[in-house]
């Protein structure tokens, strides 16, 4: 029995490897900004590795359908099929997130931690801030990206949140956003 299973695995392994190679090839257009494995080397772009599959899928659909706008992302996503979007969401969510280098200020980290407790951020993003389903992973995300997204929610520039984040972010000061970003980028 074990020998049959071994030969079966040998028979299907090349097709499975080909499938993963095809998905990796589709991700090549993402690599310039987000890294080949979803770990962005630029502070301007988020890391996609380890992000929740449902969140990645929804964001790509929102870019494609115009609910979320970005001059670089919208055209890039626009050429993808539904299957491409599903496969890319699966591919990047399965990658391992690498901790980026960020020199967090301990005072701001503590302020940010308190803000997340007061705002009950863990209710959606989970206690570890690793996200769940359509709620994104925030831990280890790029500091500048976190700052930009929170400001965009606060200022009404990002609205594809079904009304969840805007009320939470609307009263945050720049200093509070900075503290939140220090905390989230450091955990």
Model confidence, pTM: 0.84
pLDDT tens, residue by residue, 144-185: 999 999 999 999 999 999 899 999 999 999 999 999 999 999
- Look up the CATH number of domain 11-94: 1.10.760.10
Q: How confident is the model at residue 5 (pLDDT cuts 50, 70, 90)?
A: very low
> Domain boundaries in the chain?
11-94, 106-186
- In sequence order, the 6+-apart residues with CB closer than 8 A to the CB of 130 are 50, 137, 139
How many Cβ atoms sit within 10 Å of the Cβ of residue 87? 18
What are the pLDDT digits (tens) for 119-139? 999 999 999 999 999 999 999
Residue corresponding to tokens 């996609």: 48
CATH placement of domain 106-186 = 1.10.760.10
β-partners of residue 132 are: 135
Q: Do domains 11-94 and 106-186 have the same CATH topology?
A: yes
Give the residue, 76 or 113, on which the prediction is more confident: 113
pLDDT of residue 23: 63
Alpha-carbon span 187 to 182, nearest angstrom: 9
pLDDT at 90: 96
In this prediction, residue 175 carries a pLDDT of 98
Output phi, psi for 35, to 5 deg.
Answer: 85, 150
Query: How does pLDDT run across 48-91, given as a tens digit for each residue?
Result: 999 999 999 999 999 999 999 999 898 889 999 999 999 999 99
Residue 107 has pLDDT above 60, yes or no: yes
Query: Does pLDDT of 187 surpass 70?
Result: yes
Phi, psi of 79 (to 5 degrees): -90, -5
């Amino acid at each position: 029995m074990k020998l049959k299973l071994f030969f079966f695995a040998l028979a299907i392994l090349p097709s499975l490897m080909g499938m993963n190679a095809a998905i990796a090839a589709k991700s090549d257009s993402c690599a310039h900004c987000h890294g080949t494995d979803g770990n962005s080397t630029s502070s301007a772009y988020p890391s996609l590795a380890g992000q929740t599959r449902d969140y990645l899928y929804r964001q790509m659909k929102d870019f494609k359908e115009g609910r979320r706008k970005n001059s670089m992302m919208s055209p890039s996503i626009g050429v993808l099929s539904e299957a491409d979007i599903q496969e890319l969401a699966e591919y990047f969510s399965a990658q391992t997130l690498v901790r980026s280098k960020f020199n967090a200020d301990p005072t701001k980290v503590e302020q940010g931690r308190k803000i997340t407790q007061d705002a009950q951020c863990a209710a959606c993003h989970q206690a570890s801030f690793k996200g769940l389903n359509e709620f994104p992973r925030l831990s280890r995300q790029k500091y500048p990206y976190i700052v930009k997204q929170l400001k965009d929610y606060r200022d009404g520039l990002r609205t594809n949140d079904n009304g969840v984040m805007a009320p939470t972010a609307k009263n945050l000061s720049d200093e509070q956003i900075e503290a939140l970003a220090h905390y989230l980028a450091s955990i």
